[in-house]
Amino acid sequence: LDAQWHLGHVGQVAGVGARTLVVLAVIFLVAAVIKAGIGPFHAWLTGAIEAPGSTLGLIALSAMVPAAFLVARLYPLYLEAPHLLTAVALVGAAGAVAGAIFALAQRDLLRIGVFAAASQAGIILATLGMGGFSPAMFMLFTAGCLLVLYFLVVANLRRRFGSHDVADHGGGWRLMPRTTLALAGW
């Protein structure tokens, strides 16, 4: 469809113009934001924290990667829709800031990871909106690996300490040095 977006933008496809492309791009952007759990749509992702750690890592990964990949695949559409890349960057930046603020306010390690995942998805959308296709794809793949690592580390900490609360994990460096190193690396 890459060639068709441009033909629709210049008016060579009957019934398709710039307004139609903007509407399509907004619909796809809303679908990506809901799938990634950005902003007010994070509730479905935070409801999944009752799952085991490895499963939660895969759930968060399966939320972020397809959402960013959807926006990346439709990047030619966003290039043809006027001023929509600016909206993608603003939505992504707002989602990244909100996710980071919510993550800092949490005491539960799993909720921190969920909000960090939403914040990473926002950063990836903001990078795509600013025209950085290649950097956004690099961030998508690295964030995906680190996100799974984080949830596996949290599952290991929960198994050892019996809690997700940050306050209950004192002395982790002494008791679990490799796990703590993995968490510090994240």
- 10-61 pLDDT tens trace: 666 777 777 777 788 888 878 877 776 665 656 666 666 677 777 777 777 7
| pLDDT score at 10 | 66
Other C-beta atoms lying within 10 Å of the C-beta of residue 129: 22
Whether the predicted pLDDT of 97 surpasses 90: yes
Exposed/middle/buried for residue 5 (C-beta within 10 Å: 0-12, 13-18, 19+): buried
CB 22 within 8 Å of CB 82: yes
The helix-helix angle for 109-129 and 53-73 (nearest 10°) equals 10
| pLDDT score at 42 | 60
CA-CA distance, 71 to 127, in Å (whole number)?
11
Question: Sign of the CA dihedral 37, 117, 99, 25?
Answer: negative
CA atoms within 13 A on the CB side of 105: 7
How remote is the C-alpha of 178 from its chain's centroid?
Answer: 27
pLDDT band with cut points at 50, 70 and 90 for residue 135: very high
Is 8 or 157 the better-scoring residue by pLDDT? Answer: 157
- The pTM of this model reads 0.76
Residue 134 backbone dihedrals phi, psi, to 5 degrees: -65, -45
Residue 184, token pair as written in the block: 């510090």
